Amino acid sequence: MGRLDNKVAVVTGSATGIGAATVKLYAKEGATVVCADVNEEDVKQTVDEVINDGGQAEFYSLDVSKEESVSEFADYLNDKYGKIDVLFNNAGIDEEGGKVHEYPVDLFDRIIAVDLRGTFLTSKFLLPLMMEQGGSIINTSSMSGRAADLDRSGYNAAKGGITNFTKAMAIDYAREGIRVNSIAPGTIETPLVDELAGTKEQEEGQEFREAQKWVTPMGRLGSPEEVASVALFLASDESSYVTGEDIAVDGGIMAYTWPGKMLINKSWKENTK
């Protein structure tokens, strides 16, 4: 018996990384998973893997930043399933843009549109499908929504907005039996990290990973599966009294104030896994 038996789960941004790992885990635990993404080729591969393993999943092409697209998606779900039980708002993009006076307006707008507006739109239009039986909404925030990064103010603004938007929805819908929480991943081995910092094979990617290893208390990057496990907990009845929380999955990065001693302690740098 699975922890998500007889539940319908929607996962946006499900093509790769955290989204794909969560789709597979949700399906393994008995959910019927609707995989929504703009990346049709990669999502279909994820869906095929789930089906080949005996799970239930389908693909839906969705641009979360477009109101009409999300509204049509909600109608589709209502017609086919009549409800949803879990919504994992995971779709997001990230890109450096320079300091604020240099930051391209179109890049800021695009990140806000996908990350923050997309979370709002999918929640707004899919919430009515939860109102009768209750459910769980999980939003992907970030440690970058708790603290700031150099040259990434658009992403910081979007993820910070998601963190507090999560709390607002948790209050709004607690009496309807709908729990709303967010997950704040640290640096996770995903294609997005490859795009931002370079792959494991590239010199800049290797340098980034080495720096990230020693600045992370646990001494390594996280895996998509580790984030998916938290998403499963929040989707399941095991978290029935948890709402309005932003749960860090970051190997301990947000636990310290500043990396002073870590910068000069040779044994700390070398003792990574």
Which entry of 155, 173, 241, 256 is annotated as an active-site residue?
A: 155
Range of the domain at 139: 8-186+223-252
Same domain, 213 and 248: no
Q: Which two tokens stand for residue 122?
A: 């999918």
Same domain, 137 and 204: no
Position 273 scores a pLDDT of 60
How confident is the prediction along the chain (273 residues), in pLDDT tens digits per residue? 899 999 999 999 999 999 999 999 999 999 999 999 999 888 999 999 999 999 999 999 999 999 999 999 999 999 999 999 999 999 999 999 999 999 999 999 999 999 999 999 999 999 999 999 999 999 999 999 999 999 999 999 999 999 999 999 999 999 999 999 999 999 999 877 777 777 878 888 888 888 888 889 998 899 999 999 999 999 999 999 999 999 999 999 999 988 777 777 777 777 766
Q: Is 155 a catalytic residue?
A: yes
Q: Which two tokens stand for residue 68?
A: 């009409």
- Domain-embedded: residue 262: no
* Distant-in-sequence, close-in-space partners of 201: CB < 8 Å, separation ≥ 6: none
Work out the burial of residue 175: count CB atoms within 10 Å of its CB; fewer than 13 is exposed, 13-18 middle, 19 or more buried.
exposed
Same domain, 131 and 213: no
- Domain-embedded: residue 259: no
- Domain-embedded: residue 160: yes
Position 209 scores a pLDDT of 84
Considering its fold, how many domains does the chain have in total?
2
- Domain-embedded: residue 113: yes
Distance CA 73, CA 96 (A): 31
Position 272 scores a pLDDT of 67
Global pTM? 0.94
Position 211 scores a pLDDT of 81
Position 264 scores a pLDDT of 78
* Distant-in-sequence, close-in-space partners of 61: CB < 8 Å, separation ≥ 6: 36, 37, 38, 40
Three state DSSP letters for the chain: CCCCCCCEEEEECCCCHHHHHHHHHHHHCCCEEEEEECCHHHHHHHHHHHHHCCCEEEEEECCCCCHHHHHHHHHHHHHHCCCCCEEEECCCCCCCCCCCCCCCHHHHHHHHHHHHHHHHHHHHHHHHHCCCCCEEEEEECCHHHCCCCCCCHHHHHHHHHHHHHHHHHHHHHHHHCEEEEEEEECCECCHHHHHHHCCCCCHHHHHHHHHHHHHCCCCCCECHHHHHHHHHHHHCHHHCCCCCCEEEECCCHHHCCCCHHHHHCHHHHHCCC
- The CATH number covering residue 170 comes to 3.40.50.720
- Kindly report each contact of residues 260-263 with a partner whose C-beta sits within 8 Å and lies 24 or more positions away, as own/partner: 262/214, 262/215
Same domain, 134 and 182: yes
Position 261 scores a pLDDT of 79
Distance CA 19, CA 167 (A): 22
Q: How far is CA 30 from CA 12, 139, 143, in A?
A: 18, 21, 30
Same domain, 178 and 128: yes
